[in-house]
Chains A and B, each alone.
Chain A
Amino acid sequence: MCMATSTEAPPAYAELFCLSNYSFLQAASHPEELVGRAAQLGYQALALTDECSLSGVVRAHQAAREAGLRLLIGAHFRLPDTPTLVCLAQTPAGYRRLCRLISQARRRAPKGEYRLTREDLEDGLPGCLVLLHLAPDTPDADLAWFRRAFGDSAWIGVSLLRDGRDPALLARARQATRTHGLGCVAVGQVRMHARGRRVLLDTLSAIRLGVPLDRLGQQAAGNGEQHLRRREDLARIYPAEWLARSVELARRCRFSLDSLRYAYPDDVTPPGMQRHAYLRQLVEQGVRRRWPGGCDERVRAQIEHELRLIAELGYEAYFLTIWDIVRHARARGILCQGRGSAANSAVCYCLGITEVDPARANLLFERFISRERNEPPDIDVDFEHQRREEVIQYIYEKYGRERAALTATVITYRARSALRDCARALGLDATRIEALGQALSSWRRHGGIDAEALREAGFDPDSPLMQRLCYLANALRGFPRHLSQHVGGFVISRERLDVLVPVENAAMPGRTVIQWEKDDLEALGLLKVDILSLGMLSALRRCLDLVGRQRGQALRLQDIPAEDPAVYAMLQRADTMGVFQIESRAQMAMLPRLRPRHFYELVIEIAIVRPGPIQGDMVHPYLRRKQGREPVDYPSPEVRAVLERTLGVPIFQEQVIKLAMVAAGFSPGEADQLRRAMAAWKRRGGLSPYRERLLRGMHERGYSRDFAERIYRQILGFGDYGFPESHAASFALLAYASAWLKCHHPAAFCAALLNSQPMGFYQPAQLLDDARRHGVDVCPVDVRHSDWDCTLEGEAPRLRLGLRMVAGLGREAAERLLRARRQAPFRDLDDLAARSGLERRALQALAAADALSGLAGHRHLAAWAVAGIEHGADLMRAPRFAERQPQLFPPSEAEQVLADYAHTGLSLRQHPLALLREALRARGFLSAAEVGGRADGEGVRAAGLVLVRQRPGQGKAVFITLEDETGQLNLLVWSRLAERQRRILLGARLLGVNARLQRAEGVQHLIVHRLEDHSELLGPLQIRSRDFC
């Protein structure tokens, strides 16, 4: 018994039937891995043929380009009563036909499924080759149909997998050739790139079928043959003729994704006009609008430069389309603003897409579009989050579902879901899987499951079961699970989309999704626009509306006066709860030190509190220079031009790029490459090639080694986490507007924020507390006065909480109540129930939220009254006999506060801790206000409700914010203590600490050295804390 060892070269081969993990849960390798292996094995070509999907082809295409392998595009399908068919695109026309076929099949079925019948293939799929995957029992009738339907493009694909069926398959194949004249070709039905992946493949089967591995049996593959096999092995299995045919068929397929072209729609240009001319017209209109007195030389030069570049690269239609969307939104009163790199563009400013004035800022257009980048521009626009849907509908209506679709996001396995599914496949029960979840948090940080954490959770990390589990879960991370719609990325095309890329149904009805993601589109050079949502925009618009109504005169965003000293004074006090971008704990700690006095310093404030500048050590030098404790110097006038506005410290991404150009002689394209490398260096290895170039360039231009090293270090620290200046400026505009409104119209501001929840950093309870501290009067929810939204009442004005704050009351029920009230005020509770037709649950919700106090008395009386209301047929009966009222005592203050929190999420009566103050004092705890009166360096004991837990960056410390009835306290817990007292840190609702007070430059922290959990004092009170760790 010997294996033939041939000394001649193995035969050429091309794999024509191969699945990647984009056939969800059916294959165990990434497209890149398949391509890499095929190239290694010396295949002539590889076809990627996922099931009714082209989701993975772009990745495969990129990998194939790098590896020098020819990639064929295709897909396979399973039809009812028909063997599997594999379709390969031969020509661009064939590719288009394939896309249409996939789209057709997917659009008919719910998300994640497809339906295809023989009728759909009647035209024989011109431009495609079709292979029928043979089984030993494939009936003759099927083969006859196949021959008829596809004629010369029809071939039989035979996969010999050494599973015992090979002899039968061979016989059947030979018979088919004799009877029907169909040629045979060798295919692998490949599901993984290497044999060793069979372990993962079996696991995927177990997950897909919902069955533990030891019960899979015949449903799992019997062996690991479905991988990319060596050509020597293939030679021993298949007839030589069939192998040769695979190469021949591959040669017939000439289509490549590189030839994909699409054009942006032309709908917006009026008939008879050229695109470029129309764009020029709109831009000039914009110039007149933005600078009524005319724009200056510099800006004009920039506009001309941009328009030239846009024309050269052919992007006019793109800009016009987005202009139209923004215009439409504004016409409907929806606030919107462009963000990101687009804010670098003067043309965008003129078109009203962005709001950063090029006259007042230094913009770097190359950041947005440049010849060298060879990438399409990417415009992201923020809309009011509650009205974004209207914008999306507009796009669908205008361009039709044929030409517009959302980009996809591929949902992949994360650590937790991978662990869970693998554990289930290995047969662990629910209890143990829960316990495993506990061990996870350490996994996320360390990149591999920690043995200690496993032991703590009651598992033995050395047991074979655990080792298998860890291996599988690690391998499964990052595997695609299913396709979902991206948050707001849109592809809009001049002709049909579904001949460019397959389109399928999303989960939401009426939504369609293309099968490619953002990165895929970028790789192929396809344009997309991001329709994003921003909670703050909703809040701003609502606030402007409220103020306008109060004043009797509309207030628009542009009417807000600039550079109001009162606003900046408020910012310097860090009185910024609710203000966009500068309300976080970290920002509040920076504001009193940086003390922004004008707009540009606000821009810096927003950009500086980010991991990039913090790690690059830009923050302290900047603060020192601003406070005059360090001299500001520049090694040269060129550097001065770049860094002057930030006191010599690079804070924005563009400054770093400009420095590379100005001080080290990089060309704009090279500088952009540097930017890209900065973003990726942590993943791909160092920036060393750039280091040499930088140091040399700077040395040549006479800069000191010191300076050069310093700049390089700052670049390293920057990484991906620095803001572009334009982006920070866009945000600063919104931050200033919201700060102004908070400063001058606190009641309207708070109402607007409450009506726009969920959004922002703080809960409604904190926002209201803050408003009351600023002198705003707040009235509770009342069915006699409240609207659905929070509103303003009276002269002062007072803030009336809306019915939306009542937990368990739906909008529809509330509307019915309001309609009834508009007809006539409510006489009593029975009248309310009768006229508004609210069902019991809604009434109970109102009673529990104390909204019925005006009609029925305190909570207990209201609950009794609501329980006694008859519903249904009895409603029409004559008024009942008067019944005896029970004597019910009102709830205690503590119970009222508890009920308030439980049913509205806040309380206007007292802070829960006010009720516990005695008990807390007895344990030696100070209030926040009392702590404020102590001196720097003192030891204090304090307690409060946990609002926020954060562990930024590398996690050297945990930041906690506590709250009591007098204010908030910021705690700092070093990581060693955090580990030691981990349970209390993570679990306590009412936290007590022994700490040392630290106060400097107007910022106060408590450095904790001991934690205590006093949650039992709270009883059932639940406060939701925000945990970022």
Chain B
Amino acid sequence: MLWLAVYFPGLPLRVFHDPGRQPFALSERIDGRERITRCNRRAREQGLYPGMPLASALALCGGLRVRPRDRRAEQALLRDRAQQAYRFSSRIAFDPLCLLIEIGASLRLMGGLEPLLQTVLAALCEPGERARHAVAPTPGAASLLARCRPGTRVLRREAIREALADIPLARLSRDPRARRLMQDIGLRTLGECLALPREGLARRTGPELLRHIDQVLGLAPDPRPAWRPPTRFEQTLPLCDEIEHAPALLFPAQRLVERLARWLRARDGATDRLHWRLHHRARPPTSFDTGLLAPDREPERLLRGLRERCERLCLPAPVTALGLRVSDIQPADTPSGGLFPAPSRPDLHWLERLYNRLGETCIRGLRSRPDHRPEQAWQWCPPGRSEAQPPRPGAQPLWLLPRPRPLRERGLQLLQGPQRIEAGWWDGQDVARDYFVARTRDGTRLWIYLDRRSGHWHVHGYLD
């Protein structure tokens, strides 16, 4: 076995789009304090360094842009690269910011070590990116060498020990107890550590450290879970007869959906997004998505979206084949108990149907916001997401005008009020109004107010 480790120290910064003209740094909370963990070249020129407290960094460099480190984005980026590497090897593993690729099996195919390295590194790195790599018989050794002695090639197991002799111990282990001990007894490198009596060391640091060292040296197995690229379901069903009316699509669709359901069940997964593709003879395919509110794998529910869609779908041309692709697999959380599929949440079915029938952009929910100003007291939201708010004092109109209009009516009778509202200075939209309920001559009840700054009267809503 031969492992290639490729280490991307600049990945955390690369996740953000940084043209590099301004000082930019990432911060993390370490031991209760915000500290800089990475910074770009401009920032380094100003005197910033990793580990510096954020407050000092801001003092030193006034125009510094800081973002918190985004580890999830880093993981995603690393997985992307792993996807690239999958072309060259099927055994891929991860270390922090580092990709481990087993290349022993591919050496012959790629024509030797050097050509392989050239190809792989070219595929993995973005232009202008510096990545450090190393090759060794164990993944642990390769990873360490990539971080500390980039460019090293160790081909035989017996040579590992020598190659790692002056690797700093701080890089070997994150275990605080072990690190502290090494520091206290004045040892710095792995080589020095290997010279210690084994039993004495094991007793003092616990078995973890020695096991880790053995793995790195190749004296103990180091099984790394192999990474697999995410799967997807993609099938196309050619049709014997061309279909000209949309509802007829449901029959072939049913077969595809059943296959999908079987496939999902085998992977214990569920999905909430189906991508349909209608192939035509002489024009590009028509595609659209149907969705569910919650991930599911029952054929009936998966098909419902298409059923709703087909009722209003107009086919631009006869369909010759039907394709279904599902790439977003989520774990199924329904326990498969009895023979019959468990009923899903009943209350949102009708919403799903509305969505599918009318389209997602046509449906909105309403919710109240905590604010004294009537025009700010409500907002649109995804349906089903509002919570009850305590009742507001004073008269509340049923209808609120989108914008208050000047009062033109005459002969009004004041029924209630004044209710004085003064709020909103914090976002620059301060209001100072006295609200009244007034009845017009024809009996309509208006919600009007006097703007205390301008002295003008306005109508803001209707009570009936």
Residues of A at the B interface (CB closer than 8 Å) are 1, 161-167, 195, 198-199, 202, 213-220, 222-225, 426, 430-431, 434-435, 437-438, 455-458, 464, 468, 844, 847-848, 859-861, 863-864, 867-868, 883-891, 895, 983, 987
With contact pairs A859-B186, A883-B200, A889-B186 given, residues A867 and B423 touching in the complex (Cβ less than 8 Å): no
Beta-carbon contact of A884 and B422 below 8 Å: no
CB distance from B406 to the nearest CB of A (A): 15
Chain B window 407-436, contacts with chain A (Cβ cutoff 8 Å), 1 for yes, 0 for no: 000001010101111110111100000100
> Which residue of B has the minimal Cβ distance to A895?
B186
Residues of A within 8 A of B416 (CB): 167
Interchain nearest-CB distance for B429 vs A (Å):
11
Given contacts A163-B394, A202-B426, A864-B204, 16 further A-B contacts (CB under 8 A): A162-B434, A163-B393, A198-B422, A213-B426, A214-B426, A222-B420, A431-B27, A431-B58, A458-B64, A860-B186, A864-B184, A867-B181, A883-B199, A888-B185, A890-B186, A983-B59
8 closest Cβ pairs, A-B complex: A217-B370, A164-B394, A863-B184, A164-B393, A162-B420, A867-B204, A164-B419, A223-B422
B199 nearest CB neighbor, chain A only: A883
The 8 Å CB contact of A163, one of B55, B389, B419, B427, is B419
**B residues less than 8 Å from A886 (CB atoms):** 185, 195-197, 200
What residues of B have a CB within 8 angstroms of the CB of A435 in the complex? 58
7 contacts between A and B (CB under 8 A): A430-B34, A434-B54, A458-B62, A848-B184, A864-B200, A867-B185, A983-B59
B108 at the interface (CB under 8 A from A): no
Nearest residue in A to B60 (C-beta to C-beta)?
Answer: A983
* Distance in angstroms between the alpha carbons of A331 and B203 in the assembled complex: 56
B458 lies within 8 A of chain A by Cβ: no
Tell me how far the C-beta of A659 lies from the nearest C-beta in chain B, rounded to whole angstroms: 49
**Does B63 count as interface, using CB distance less than 8 angstroms?**
yes
- A164's nearest neighbour on chain B, judged by CB, is B394
The interface bits of chain B over 166-204 (1 if a CB of A lies within 8 angstroms of the residue's CB, else 0) are 000000000000000100111100000001110110011
CB pair B58 A438 closer than 8 Å: yes
Which residue of chain A has the shortest Cβ distance to B205 in the bound complex? A867
B421 CB, min distance to chain A CBs, angstroms: 6
**Given known A1-B414, A426-B426, A886-B197, contact A431–B184 (CB-CB < 8 A):** no
A897 to chain B, nearest CB (A): 14
Residue pair A217, B369 in contact (C-beta under 8 Å): yes
Name the CB-closest residue of A to B416.
A167
A437→B66 CA distance, assembly (Å): 16
Q: Is the CB of A224 within 8 A of B422?
A: yes
A868 with B200, Cβ < 8 A, contacts A163-B419, A458-B62, A886-B195 known: yes
- Enumerate chain A residues within 8 angstroms of B414, measured Cβ to Cβ: 1
Chain A proximity of B332: nearest CB distance (Å) = 37
Interface residues on B, range: 35 or more
With both chains docked as a complex, state the minimum distance between the C-beta of B419 and any C-beta of chain A, in angstroms: 4
Residue of B nearest to A222 (CB): B372
CB distance from A513 to the nearest CB of B (A): 31
Nearest residue (CB) in A for B426 is A213
Identity of the chain B residue whose Cβ is nearest the Cβ of A864 in the assembled complex: B185
Closest to B373 in A: A222
Contact A214 B418 (CB under 8 A): no
Contact yes or no, A888 B197, CB < 8 A: no
- Select one of B54, B66, B186 contacting A888, CB under 8 A: B186
Nearest Cβ in chain B — how far from A820, in angstroms?
Answer: 24
B11-65 contacts to A, CB under 8 A, are: 27, 34, 54-56, 58-60, 62-64
- Asked if B70 lies at the interface with its beta carbon under 8 angstroms from chain A, I say no
B395 at the A/B interface (Cβ < 8 Å)?
yes
CA distance A980 to B417 in the complex (A): 62
B368: nearest chain-A partner, CB-CB: A217
Partner of A867, one of B54, B184, B427: B184
Residue of A167, A859, A864 most packed against chain B (CB within 10 A): A864
Q: Give chain A residues whose Cβ lies under 8 Å from the Cβ of B370.
A: 215-219
With A198-B422, A431-B54, A457-B62 known as contacts, the answer to whether A860 contacts B195 (CB < 8 A) is no
Q: Of the candidates A162, A844, A847, which one forms a contact with B418 in the assembled complex, judged by CB atoms under 8 Å apart?
A: A162
Bound-complex Cα distance A245 to B120 (A): 92
Chain B positions within 8 Å of A163 at CB level: 393-394, 419-420
Contacts of B126 in A (CB 8 A): none
Contact B204 A868 (CB under 8 A): yes
Closest to A212 in B: B426
**Cβ-defined contact, A891 with B186, below 8 A:** yes
A220 CA / B421 CA spacing, docked (Å): 11
Other-chain residue from B195, B390, B423, B426 in contact with A887 (beta carbon distance below 8 A): B195
Q: Which of B66, B186, B369, B421 has the most CB of A within 10 A?
A: B186
A860 touching B184, Cβ below 8 Å: yes
Q: Is B371 an interface residue (CB 8 A)?
A: yes
Q: Are A214 and B422 in contact (CB under 8 A)?
A: no
* Closest chain B residue to A892, Cβ basis: B186
**Distance (Å) between the CB of A260 and the closest chain B CB?**
40
Rounded to whole Å, the gap between the CB of A813 and the closest CB of chain B is: 19
- Residues in A with CB closer than 8 Å to B205 are 867
Residues of A near B187 (CB, < 8 A) are 888
B423 touches A431 (CB 8 A): no
A225 touching B420 in the complex, CB below 8 Å, given contacts A218-B372, A863-B184: yes
The answer to whether the Cβ of B392 comes within 8 Å of any Cβ in the partner chain is yes
Q: A426-B426, A438-B59 are in contact. Are A863 and B185 (CB under 8 A)?
A: yes
A891 — which chain B residues lie within 8 A by C-beta? 186
B181–A863 contact, CB under 8 A? yes
Q: How far is the CB of B9 from chain A (nearest CB, A)?
A: 22
Tell me the smallest distance from the CB of A690 to a CB of chain B, in Å: 46
List the B side residues contacting A223 at CB < 8 Å. Answer: 372, 420-423
Is B197 a contact of A883 with CB atoms below 8 Å?
yes
Q: Which residues of B contact A847 (CB under 8 A)?
A: 184
* Closest Cβ–Cβ distance, residue A560 to chain B (whole Å): 47
Chain B residues in 8 Å Cβ range of A861: 185
List CB contacts (< 8 Å) of B189-235 with chain A. Answer: 195-197, 199-200, 203-205
**Complex: A979 Cα to B205 Cα, angstroms:** 51
Contact call B423/A222, Cβ cutoff below 8 A: yes
Residues of A within 8 A of B54 (CB): 431, 434
Chain B residue nearest to A136 in the complex (CB) = B393
B58, B369, B395: the one contacting A434 at CB < 8 Å is B58
A983 proximity list for chain B (CB < 8 A): 59-60
A457 to B58, CA, bound (A): 7
Docked pose: A163 CA to B417 CA in angstroms: 9
What is the bound-complex CA distance between A1 and B62, given in angstroms?
57
User: Given the complex of chains A and B, what is the CA–CA distance between A167 and B415 in angstroms?
Assistant: 11
Q: Which residues of the other chain, B, contact A844 by a CB distance below 8 angstroms?
A: 184
List the A side residues contacting B395 at CB < 8 Å: 164
A859 — which chain B residues lie within 8 A by C-beta?
184, 186
Choose among A223, A224, A455, A895 the residue with the greatest number of B CB atoms under 10 Å from its CB. A223
- Name the B residues within 8 Å of A455 (CB-CB): 62
User: Taking A457-B58, A859-B184, A888-B186 as contacts, is the C-beta distance between A220 and B423 under 8 angstroms?
Assistant: yes
CB-defined contacts of B55 to chain A, threshold 8 Å = 434, 437-438
Residues of B within 8 A of A222 (CB): 372, 393, 420-423
Question: Is A884 a contact of B184 with CB atoms below 8 Å?
Answer: no
Q: State the CA gap A218–B369 with chains docked (Å).
A: 9
A85: min CB distance to chain B, Å: 23
A867 smallest CB distance to B (angstroms): 4
B448 to chain A, nearest CB (A): 10
Inter-chain CA distance A165–B62, complex, in Å, is 51
Residue ID in chain B nearest A1013 by CB atoms: B47
Q: A165-B393, A431-B34, A886-B196 are in contact. Are A456 and B62 (CB under 8 A)?
A: yes
Q: Which residue of B lies closest to A464 (CB)?
A: B428
For residue A214, which residues in chain B have a CB less than 8 angstroms away from its CB? 371, 426-427
> Which single residue of chain B is at the shortest CB-CB distance from A880?
B203
Nearest B-chain residue to A427, judged by Cβ: B426
When C-beta atoms are compared, the residue in chain A nearest to B414 turns out to be A1
B197's partner among A167, A458, A884, A889 (CB-CB below 8 A) is A884
In chain B, residues 348-403, which have Cβ atoms closer than 8 Å to a Cβ of chain A?
Answer: 369-372, 389-390, 392-395
State in angstroms the CA–CA spacing of A438 and B58 once bound together. Answer: 8
